[in-house]
Amino acid sequence: MADESLPGVWGDRLDAFISAIDAVDADKPLNFCEQAWEIWECAAVSDLPPESHPAMLIVLGVQQALASVMASTYRSTADGGDPLTLTAVHASLSEELGAVRAECERWRREGLPSAAEVRARSAAAATGLHVATKRSA
């Protein structure tokens, strides 16, 4: 069934994205974040899954990871203290993306979340994205 394979396709896109961030050629942490965001946006916007499909949690999970790391990077730069290094930002994003990847693996073992769970978690993720982007503004 095509619907069941959708998380697999998005898991593959996640893996490709994780590999792609290793190739981002940025000399500043904020530039790295911006380039990573653009890469994911190109991959995600081209073919979004349905709102209630579990693959949407992958899309939103990556966006949350990017927003969180970007907000932390911006705050560290704006605070006038020690800004985060490019290495630290990359490691932080890799760790957060690893959590999204682990969720995909859990679905393979335990089964996909229901449409109701996806909708509830998507709403929570959207709120989290709003808070993260508001904090960095």
Q: Which residue has the higher pLDDT, 1 or 93?
A: 93
pTM for this predicted structure: 0.86
Residue 77 or 62, more confident = 62
Q: How far is CA 1 from CA 7, 12, 41, 59, in A?
A: 12, 17, 27, 21
In the structure encoding, which two tokens stand for residue 29, read together?
Answer: 């942490």
Tokens of 105: 């693996």
Tokens of 9: 């396709």
For the chain, domain boundaries: 2-136
Q: How far apart are CA 104 and CA 110, in angstroms?
A: 10
